[in-house]
Structure 1
Amino acid sequence: MTRAAILAGLFDDLADSYDHDHHERIADALLARAWPGAYDAVADVACGAGAVALRLARARPDSAPPVLAVDISPRMIEAGRGRAVGGAVDWRVADAVPLPVPDGSLDAVFCASSLHFLGCRALADWRRVLRPGGRVAYSLPLAGHFRPSSRFAALLAADVPLPAGPEDAVDWAVGHGFTDVTAQVAVLGDRRVAVTAARLPEHP
């Protein structure tokens, strides 16, 4: 069985007991740092039950383009659809990398609680899909506060170092080609996550 299939199965198993409150708080933290324009083209990458996509969909004009929500887990996408109202989210069961969109077609990419599974290839793909000046916002668990189960620990991306604090998060994003990087630690109950926002440079 491939790594992707194992991840999909694990998140399928979690769909009925997913901690929506925790992930909605992460979505709020991400959007507070990088709220997109009302008509921006936006993707919620490895969206789970779509906390970011649903937050945006509720706030955007009816005439805005749908928010793209992509996840490898069919049951997570099903859970997101079940929480949605109307057609303001384009739900897709697909690999998060590469995103199923053309080069330079997005204004903003959000990724909550998933980059440490996707790996650095996700950052390269976000640079591909973003327009110049486009924004990213993502969260990573703090190294000293992350206690994954053995099933999930075995699937972590080896090339994504968990930050010890905001400075590590900023340095890592800058090192991967982003600019105007800011990061802060969000305290969510007994969990700590680094919330990072950045831009793709206007010029190569």
Structure 2
Amino acid sequence: MTPPAIRFDAAADTYDDDPHHLGIARELVDGLRTAARPRLVVDVATGTGFAAFAALEALDPQHVVAVDVSARMLERAAAKAPAGDPDGRIEWREAPAVPLELPDGAADVVLCASALHLIGATAPPEWRRVLRPGGRAAFSIPVAADFQPSPEFREALPSDLAVPADEAGAEHIARAAGLVPVAVRRTAPVSAERPRRSFLVWAQVPR
């Protein structure tokens, strides 16, 4: 088991207690409602499945592949599936975020809610690879001013991707992977006691 998997296995039982995760996932997916019905949605670093379930409700895809390195997170997600996915359209995969075990151009939508800063800069180019021309990527990432990890947690973060300070920095992440055009929105904090804003980013593979 990899160190990230151990860390997120340990967090799985209380992950759903934090309303921030659900709110970000829903806002991120809601930004894709104007797109045509997708055949395949890929939810990268799905955790307990917030974005995958939100995609079923908002986008009505034919199939969702939800990937995470944490077996315990996936167990928690699968336990919610009878209510959130009664017809079994979500496929839960214990696998790394990079590389994705999907062929080139297979996906219509790639989601990554609240996890890109944990994966690193290799992820957006991988999303571009698995997306078809015209396919859409949607991700969230913390606002640097609100991101205050412990020293131990900071040591575990990838060194190739900086948490952005402003909308231009968030947009650059998508553009650097060849995903254009790009739209960015900053969220409002869920709790005044623990303000945690994020950038929501929607981008596209050129046709």
For 1:12 and 1:200, how far apart are their aligned partners in 2?
33
Give the drift of 1:46. 0.5
Aligned mates of 1:53, 1:198 — CA distance in 2? 18
- Tell which deviates more after alignment, 91-100 or 33-42: 33-42
TM-score, normalised to structure 1, is 0.90
Q: CA deviation at 1:70?
A: 0.4
Residue 149 of structure 2 is matched in structure 1 by 148
TM-superposed deviation, 1:21: 2.2
Q: Which amino acid aligns with 1:23?
A: H
- Code of the aligned partner of 1:10: R
Q: What are the Cα deviations for residues 32-61 of structure 1, in whole angstroms up to 9, with x where unaligned?
A: 222353343100100100101111224565
The range that moved more, 139-148 or 150-159, is 150-159
* In 2: Cα distance, 1:150 partner to 1:75 partner: 25
Q: Distance in 2 between matches of 1:184 and 1:118?
A: 21
Mapping of residues 1-204 of structure 1, within 5 Å: 5-18=2-15, 19-35=17-33, 36-59=35-58, 64-85=61-82, 86=86, 87-187=88-188, 188-189=190-191, 190-202=195-207
Q: Is the 8 A contact 2:38 2:109 kept in 1?
A: no
Tell whether the 8 Å contact from 2:30 to 2:58 is kept in structure 1 after alignment. Answer: no
Residues in 1 aligned to 2:176 and 2:144: alpha-carbon distance in whole angstroms: 19
Q: Contact 1:43 / 1:69 at 8 angstroms: preserved in 2?
A: yes
Paired AA for residue 201 in structure 2: T
Asked if the contact 2:32/2:59 (under 8 Å) is kept, the reply is no
Whether the aligned pair in 2 keeps the contact of 1:34 and 1:136 (CA below 8 Å) is: no
- Cα distance in 1 for partners of 2:59, 2:78 equals 17
Contact kept? 2:38, 2:108, Cα under 8 Å: no
- In 1: Cα distance, 2:183 partner to 2:159 partner: 23
Percent sequence identity over aligned pairs: 40
Question: RMSD of the alignment, in Å?
Answer: 1.6
Distance 1:105 1:199 in 2: 14
CA distance in 2, matches of 1:196, 1:59: 17
Q: Work out whether residues 20 and 51 of structure 1, in 8 Å CA contact, stay in contact via their aligned partners in 2.
A: no
Deviation of the 1:117 alpha carbon: 1.5
Distance 1:37 1:150, change over 3 A: farther
CA distance in 2, matches of 1:58, 1:144: 32
Residue 33 of structure 1 contacts residue 197 of structure 1 at CA under 8 Å; is this kept in 2? yes
Distance (Å, rounded) in 1 between the aligned partners of 2:130 and 2:204:
12
Please state how far the C-alpha of 1:113 moved relative to its aligned partner: 1.0
Point out where structure 2 has 5 or more consecutive residues left out of the alignment. none
Taking a change above 3 Å as real, the CA distance of residues 58 and 39 of structure 1, as seen in their structure-2 partners, is same
Please list every run of 5 or more consecutive structure 1 residues that lacks an aligned counterpart in the other structure: none
Query: SS of 1:128's equivalent?
Result: helix
Matched residues, number = 197
